Chains A and B, each alone.
Chain A
Amino acid sequence: MYIVIAGGGKVGFYLAQELIEGGHEVLVIEQTVERVSALADELPDAIMQGDACEVSTLDKAGVSRADLVAAVTGDDEDNLVICDVSRVRGVPRTIARINNPRNALLFESRDVETTVSATQAILAQIEQELPLTQMVPVMQLHEGLEIVEVKLSETSPAVGRTARDVLLPPEALIALIVDQGGSPRVPSADTRLNPGDALVVVVRSDTKDTLKEALIGATHGLDT
């Protein structure tokens, strides 16, 4: 099979190595000159410099005779364009790496046969291993403080309250709120908390249980 891989990052590189070992003809298209020269030793004759979103680059790569195009850049919009242009050029099968799991629906509707989302895979793994943990440790600070992230569910006792009225443990501080739309803001005392908000909270490690009660509610099951 002739396989064109768009994107010479880690995913593209390892994929290329595996496929070459499996006896396939492979060409990696990578945009940045530095990355191309770094990969040239590892993938001799299998790397080409260019923007895979450009139709002329794909044509130069001989995409019309490819059996498969794998678009594995870090940008979902680029991956969609690469797959759709390849399809117009007659490529029978396209695979895209998707970075935002919510984009899976669009790729499926565009007949991009398989979508591989690293984010989704990692999320699935996390959900499997830690089914009920809703407080994610982000960073340890000095003096027994740490930063945690908590996503508010519909049933959170904090939902509907203002930041001032949440019963936080002493010395805890809501530093940042990222809303469902992904917009971050620094909360004021009057900021109202909504389901789906992700709260970044500074808290004393020994009062995390109180914080959980305030933001998650009565804990049960395997929660650690």
Chain B
Amino acid sequence: MKVLIMGCSRVGAAVAEALDAGGHDVTVLDRNPRAFRKLADSFHGERLIGNGMDTRTLERAGIQRSDAFFAVTQGDNRNYFSSQLAREVYHVPRVLCRTYDQQREEIFRQLGIETYSPTRQGSEAMLKMLNTPKGEGG
């Protein structure tokens, strides 16, 4: 599977490494070349410097041939914008958009974008842990 990851954040780097280790063809895109330091030396995929909101950069990163697109920059709006580009313009089969703001997340979902919210999913997980006796839950 060819996967394009926009944003070499901690999550972006971790997902990239895991997919790479699983034998997938991974490209990581980030505006800041220093962000790639988060990737392990063993990462075989491509590191590409550029703005993922620019169609030319996305095309250079091979978005037309990608099976999945992950938008994991720090900006909810940037992630949404590029996710819609991936979906509407490039018809990438699987698009995942990280969204911190829960209100926006709900609306992005209504607009057809698959979202992951660290705020919502993180708080849910912590509450679940609190309600589970220590040592029993995940």
Chain A residues with CB under 8 Å of chain B are: 53-56, 75-78, 80-81, 84-85, 88, 100, 102-103, 105-106, 109-110, 180-183
Q: How far is the CB of B30 from chain A (nearest CB, A)?
A: 12
Q: Which residue of A lies closest to B49 (CB)?
A: A183
Which of A81, A105, A109, A180 contacts B81, CB < 8 Å? A81
B131 within 8 A of A: no
CB-based A-B contact count at 8 angstroms? 71
Interface centre among A81, A103, A182 (most CB of B within 10 A): A81
A–B Cβ pairs within 8 angstroms, 10 of them = A53-B104, A77-B53, A81-B76, A102-B56, A103-B53, A103-B55, A109-B84, A109-B88, A181-B56, A183-B49
Number of B residues with CB within 8 Å of any CB on chain A: 26
Q: Which residue of B lies closest to A180 (CB)?
A: B56
Contact status A77-B51, CB under 8 Å: no
Q: How far is the CB of B78 from chain A (nearest CB, A)?
A: 5
Main secondary structure of the interface of B (DSSP, over half): helix
Taking A53-B76, A77-B75, A78-B77 as known contacts, 18 extra A-B pairs with beta carbons closer than 8 A to each other, sorted by chain A number, are A55-B101, A75-B77, A80-B81, A80-B84, A81-B77, A84-B107, A85-B104, A88-B107, A88-B111, A102-B54, A102-B56, A105-B89, A106-B81, A106-B84, A106-B88, A182-B54, A182-B56, A183-B50
Known contacts A105-B89, A181-B50, A182-B51; decide if A77 and B104 are in contact (CB<8 Å): no
Q: How far is the CB of B66 from chain A (nearest CB, A)?
A: 17
Q: Which residue of A lies closest to B85 (CB)?
A: A106
Q: Which of B86-138 contact A (CB under 8 A)?
A: 88-89, 101, 103-104, 107, 110-111
Main secondary structure of the interface of A (DSSP, over half): helix
Complex CA gap A131/B110 in Å reads 45
Kindly list chain B residues whose C-beta atoms are within 8 Å of the C-beta of A84.
80, 107, 111
Q: How far is the CB of B16 from chain A (nearest CB, A)?
A: 20
Kindly list chain A residues whose C-beta atoms are within 8 Å of the C-beta of B65.
none
Contact status A88-B55, CB under 8 Å: no
Q: Which residue of A lies closest to B102 (CB)?
A: A55
Complex CA gap A75/B81 in Å reads 11
Contact status B53-A181, CB under 8 Å: no
Kindly list chain B residues whose C-beta atoms are within 8 Å of the C-beta of A77.
53, 75, 77-78, 80-82
Kindly list chain A residues whose C-beta atoms are within 8 Å of the C-beta of B85.
106
Q: Which of B34-86 contact A (CB under 8 A)?
A: 49-51, 53-57, 60, 75-78, 80-82, 84-85
